[in-house]
Structure 1
Amino acid sequence: MITFQPLGTKLMYKTLLPLLERWFDEAELQGFSLPYSYHSDSQSDAETFTKKAKSVFEVFMSRMGSCYPFHQAAYAGQMLKPPHPAAWLAYAIATSVNTNNHALDGGPETSEMEKEVIRSLSRMVGYEPGTTLGHLTSGGTVANLEALWVARCLHPNKPVLFSAQAHYTHSRMCSVLGISSRAIPFAFGSEEEVDRFRASIAGAGTLVVTLGTTGTGQTEPLDVILPLCMEAGVRVHVDAAYGGFFTLLKNSGFLRSAPFEALGGADSIVIDPHKHGLQPYGCGCVLFKDATVGRFYKHDSPYTYFSSDELHLGEITLECSRAGAAAAALWFTIQLLGLEPDSAFAAMLRQCLEAARRFASVIGDDPRFELLMQPETDIVCYFPKAGTADDISRLSREIFRDTMQQGDKSLYLSLYKVDGKEFSRLFPHVESGNPTEPVTLLRSVFMKPDHLVFIHEMHNRLRASLQRITAQ
């Protein structure tokens, strides 16, 4: 059975678990947070219920034990980061109260925590908290939906533009909202390319820039794009769902600092605390530089918003019911770890970037593998060397399957498809075959600090897998 606790955090869990027990003891004394009885108080019924609960729990644990080991360093597949134990503790406690941050009536204290969190995130990205509007969401999809909805409200007949590397949610949500949209090239290497970009954005309402693309973790050149959009009167929305928290490291030397330095100039920003913010799913966030866009959310309700004359979060969100536990967990985490460049929070992010760079260096030195590109954040794409693109795709898929089947020496990766023509441009020495077919590569996401000490073991498992496959 899989061990669910993250490596290296056993002591922290042992420290925090008694706090959870203390909460329930104190809550029982105060008589407000423990659930009421859902069954009879008779002794026989209680014994039957206990027996059934134990039986169901065994089945539950058996089924959960079949999950991939997301919390362990051997898992470097998808964007799944274990919540910090502090977030897990706060979420568990807040869930027992089950507040709803739609209105102060349903979550007075967790609503205040959410407002404090929004101020912290606003400062982090370079916004002025006093003039910023924002709130938490169930995830980046809804957060981007809200940003695009505001874009439509401001420019109802103008298209939304983005690059080919943008998350598919943007084209999908534009379709939902009835907004015309299209992908345009983000190329700025020559004056001709810059002129083509200017021509492409003419007449647009909003341009989406991604800091931390989901495929390769690249940061699009916001610092170059922003002044061009301002010149053309085009709004800029930044999808920093994955890369937003890396702004804490903008002066660390690990990142291209300019795109993150420019972040405060964007009109709206999306960040996902449930990615690099150490939070459980689902916790997204949308921020607007100009708080006056709140006028588009304005509505009235005959049965909420009565406990206070202050702004209720439900008056500035598209979602209605939202878990107050998400705000509580994020607030607790930020209070404990800090959200400054020299904080423990930033130190953990730095380890993730360092792990990706070490792995890229090891892969770059191995004659059997090749990098797609140098990592900009903590995602590395690479492939086993072969004479043809078809063989590269085949070997990548076989390694992906083989590494998961090695017991306690397993490795969990993901796959990434690259346009065949683009791959041929980058690697002309590889026989392309059918250039219309995508080339499948390996992809590793180094979201856990524990990856830093696992790099050489991971490399050994990759090499062993390739050797098993080629020996067949």
Structure 2
Amino acid sequence: MSLSSKKLFPLKGNQVWTKETLKKIVDDFYAWYERHQPSAKQDKTGLLPSDSLREVDQLVSDLSDRLGKESIPWASQNYIAHMNTDIPLVASLTYFMTMLYNPNNVTPEVSPVTTALERELSIDFCNLLGYNPASGWAHLSSGGHASNYEAMWIARNLKSVPYAILQNEQTSMLIADKDQLVNMPVPKILALLDQVAKMGLYTEIIELAGLLRHDSVLKNGKVLLSENCHYAWDKCLDLLGIQKNNVEKIAPDKYLRTDNQELYKRITWLIEQNIPVIAVVLFVGSSGEGSVDNLSAMFHFRDLCQKKYGQSFYIHVDAAYGGYFRSVILDDQHEVMPYEKLKLEQPAAYLLKPEVYNSLRDLPQADSITIDPHKSGYVPYPGGCVAYKDRRLNSIIATQSKYFGQHPDEELNFGPYTLEGARPGAVASAVWSVNRLLPLNSGGLGMLLKDSLKTTLAFTQIIKENQSFLVDDHLFHVLNLYEPDLTINNFLVVPAKKGTSFEEADALNKLLAEELKSGNKDYINLFFSGSQVNYQTFKKVFKDSDLQSDHENTRLKLFRSCLMKDIPTASIKGQWNHFLGSLTDIIRNQNQI
């Protein structure tokens, strides 16, 4: 499935069809509007006085012209800077169409159609992520920030529930083993809440848990995650009252994944010291590097903790960028295909690393998962999603509880069970339409993502083969920091001479980035984003390189590419050679030899 053969995206051949479809959408909307607003049907003058109409026309025309000239060209093969895909026509059209009717997915009373679509999407995402749709649940959000906030809100609130059950005289006998109180397994807490609900004490226990939260959880409890997490995580934890001294950040390993060995040590120590582990956060596609944590090993470690200590911990996976890549390994029945079968059926260029495959395969063992349709799902902003292995988790934050002591098959109204109340139904339409055209499996959306993997592999190989270039008689290298797990690559430019410091490399790459940006206004060259990395965080990555620093807080500028499109290898080679030529000119003209 290529982008052009499916004609999913804006092409000259479908422009007329797009105009005709837009006309039908507008005609249908006007018919609906006139049905409910009789005065609109009676007024044939254009609704606005001529002067006002000209003013509106000018405003719309000016803004359209500005957007056409100044917007970032996501579709360009030269634009490989951010986690943005080209948008299929069906997503744009259904988004625009639904936006006219302005449904709010806070309740089906104001969004009967799009709430029904979101309920279908809940099943879609459960199937994609490996959750049982009958017991799991998913809903849309504005993006990864909101999804992660909500999941951590639940993890935090859940942690103090056992203390409340123990303190209440009517429920205290339910806690048979007080040694498990601090780090009680999530399924056991939910089972206890089922019992509490049958006793008619659910609301009372949840309210008491809120009162006990500070002393039982927030005072000493810990959240553990990687140092190379997105900056939004600091905001999230601060917002939830989890102070910096309660957050333990683990330096990544040389593959830029969370260092599991360090994580094991810290969790073991916390459990043995009887300190609450509020949550462990892992990543499938870190924002800066696209690295995929070794989920399989961490899930196995959690099982070992439960067997040895009778204690466990909540695991949330931030897969905002990488979660959709699970579609690459799914067949049309939502079953994971064995890796050996993938090796036989798929070209090597499409293959995921075995350890990345394992993490995607084992993703359903997470308690909650963030995944963003507006990143790898080919839909417009704002389209996020958060999914839960057990739908009862959402009742921990709900303004009305349904899943404890009540029939589990009854459908939820999203508003009372989500962090965000008002959410645009237009996003539900866009995500739903893409999922219907491109099912979330290897033969649907997975085909587009496999093309992106192929592009990334080709790009990485071209850097390896063309990583050195001469400026007059001076040799420079392009250092590729790691083999990408998904479709993000990071590299930097350094002189070939030995002894180049972090500080010197940082100054050179900052200069190159600024000059390239200022001279690339028409995107005739490759357009990258950039990131600043801390030496202390990336120390293991640079261990075997000549780049060293005596200052742990030294920061280094990197070039970052995110290859979310299918680009022919020949085009990539030409683009890269042109890029090296631009680097050569800048270094020579700026006297950086």
Query: Is 1:442 the equivalent of 2:543?
Result: no
Moved more, 381-390 or 263-272: 381-390
- What SS does structure 1 have at the residue aligned with 2:229? coil
Query: Is 1:183 the equivalent of 2:249?
Result: yes
- What SS does structure 2 have at the residue aligned with 1:205? strand
**Pairing partner for 1:97 from 98, 101, 122:** 101
Task: Give, in whole Å, the separation in 2 of the partners of 1:236 and 1:274.
Answer: 24
- What SS does structure 2 have at the residue aligned with 1:439? strand
Partner of 1:382: 491
CA 1:13 to 1:279, structure 2 compared with 1: closer, same or farther past 3 Å?
A: farther
Query: Is 1:257 the equivalent of 2:357?
Result: yes
CA 1:10 to 1:275, structure 2 compared with 1: closer, same or farther past 3 Å?
A: farther
Contact 2:488 2:561 in 1 (8 A): yes
Q: Which amino acid is the alignment partner of residue 383 of structure 2?
A: C
Task: Give, in whole Å, the separation in 2 of the partners of 1:464 and 1:68.
Answer: 24
- Could you tell me how far 1:284 is from its partner in structure 2? 0.6
Question: Percent of aligned positions with the same letter in both sequences?
Answer: 25
CA 1:273 to 1:451, structure 2 compared with 1: closer, same or farther past 3 Å?
A: farther
Partner of 1:314: 415
Partner of 1:61: 64
Task: Give, in whole Å, the separation in 2 of the partners of 1:201 and 1:362.
Answer: 45
- Could you tell me how far 1:197 is from its partner in structure 2? 4.5
Task: Give, in whole Å, the separation in 2 of the partners of 1:168 and 1:181.
Answer: 13
Partner of 2:316: 237
Aligned length: 458
- Could you tell me how far 1:66 is from its partner in structure 2? 1.7
Query: Is 1:174 the equivalent of 2:291?
Result: no
Task: Give, in whole Å, the separation in 1 of the partners of 2:259 and 2:512.
Answer: 39
Task: Give, in whole Å, the separation in 2 of the partners of 1:412 and 1:445.
Answer: 10
Q: Which runs of 5 or more structure 1 residues have no equivalent in the other structure?
A: 302-308
Partner of 1:323: 424
Task: Give, in whole Å, the separation in 2 of the partners of 1:85 and 1:51.
Answer: 30
Query: Is 1:337 the equivalent of 2:454?
Result: no
**Pairing partner for 1:420 from 529, 535, 554:** 535
Task: Give, in whole Å, the separation in 1 of the partners of 2:101 and 2:514.
Answer: 43
Moved more, 93-102 or 185-194: 185-194
Partner of 2:377: 277
Moved more, 385-394 or 240-249: 385-394
Query: Is 1:204 the equivalent of 2:277?
Result: yes
Moved more, 79-88 or 215-224: 79-88
Contact 2:374 2:381 in 1 (8 A): yes
- Could you tell me how far 1:28 is from its partner in structure 2? 2.8
Task: Give the TM-score normalised by structure 1.
Answer: 0.89
Contact 1:402 1:465 in 2 (8 A): no
Q: CA offsets, 1:295-325, max 9 Å, x none?
A: 2233259xxxxxxx85311121121111011
Moved more, 61-70 or 274-283: 61-70
Cα-Cα RMSD? 2.9
Q: CA offsets, 1:260-279, max 9 Å, x none?
A: 01101110001000100111
Task: Give, in whole Å, the separation in 1 of the partners of 2:264 and 2:421.
Answer: 44
Task: Give the TM-score normalised by structure 2.
Answer: 0.71
Q: Which amino acid is the alignment partner of residue 24 of structure 2?
A: R
**Pairing partner for 2:299 from 205, 215, 226:** 226
Moved more, 183-192 or 209-218: 183-192
- Could you tell me how far 1:148 is from its partner in structure 2? 0.2
Task: Give, in whole Å, the separation in 2 of the partners of 1:334 and 1:19.
Answer: 20
- Could you tell me how far 1:73 is from its partner in structure 2? 1.6
CA 1:72 to 1:380, structure 2 compared with 1: closer, same or farther past 3 Å?
A: same
Q: Which amino acid is the alignment partner of residue 480 of structure 2?
A: L
Q: Which amino acid is the alignment partner of residue 506 of structure 2?
A: S
- Could you tell me how far 1:191 is from its partner in structure 2? 10
CA 1:287 to 1:194, structure 2 compared with 1: closer, same or farther past 3 Å?
A: closer
Query: Is 1:160 the equivalent of 2:277?
Result: no
- What SS does structure 2 have at the residue aligned with 1:238? strand
Task: Give, in whole Å, the separation in 2 of the partners of 1:139 and 1:191.
Answer: 27
Contact 1:90 1:325 in 2 (8 A): yes
- Could you tell me how far 1:430 is from its partner in structure 2? 3.2
Task: Give, in whole Å, the separation in 2 of the partners of 1:34 and 1:336.
Answer: 32
- Could you tell me how far 1:154 is from its partner in structure 2? 0.7
**Pairing partner for 2:288 from 188, 192, 215:** 215
- Could you tell me how far 1:205 is from its partner in structure 2? 2.4
- What SS does structure 1 have at the residue aligned with 2:299? helix
Task: Give, in whole Å, the separation in 2 of the partners of 1:34 and 1:61.
Answer: 30
Contact 2:250 2:263 in 1 (8 A): no
CA 1:467 to 1:58, structure 2 compared with 1: closer, same or farther past 3 Å?
A: same
CA 1:450 to 1:94, structure 2 compared with 1: closer, same or farther past 3 Å?
A: farther
Moved more, 277-286 or 166-175: 166-175
Task: Give, in whole Å, the separation in 1 of the partners of 2:437 and 2:228.
Answer: 35
| Map 1:397-412 → 2, pairs under 5 A | 397-404=510-517, 405-406=519-520, 407=522, 409-412=524-527
Q: Which amino acid is the alignment partner of residue 330 of structure 1?
A: V
Q: Which amino acid is the alignment partner of residue 246 of structure 1?
A: F
- What SS does structure 2 have at the residue aligned with 1:129? coil
**Pairing partner for 2:20 from 18, 21, 43:** 18
Moved more, 100-109 or 360-369: 360-369
Query: Is 1:346 the equivalent of 2:446?
Result: yes
Partner of 2:366: 266
Partner of 1:82: 86
Task: Give, in whole Å, the separation in 1 of the partners of 2:299 and 2:485.
Answer: 20
- Could you tell me how far 1:433 is from its partner in structure 2? 6.7
Task: Give, in whole Å, the separation in 2 of the partners of 1:30 and 1:43.
Answer: 17
- What SS does structure 1 have at the residue aligned with 2:81? coil
Q: Which amino acid is the alignment partner of residue 289 of structure 2?
A: T
Task: Give, in whole Å, the separation in 2 of the partners of 1:191 and 1:311.
Answer: 37
CA 1:471 to 1:342, structure 2 compared with 1: closer, same or farther past 3 Å?
A: same
Q: CA offsets, 1:345-374, max 9 Å, x none?
A: 111111111111111111111223120111
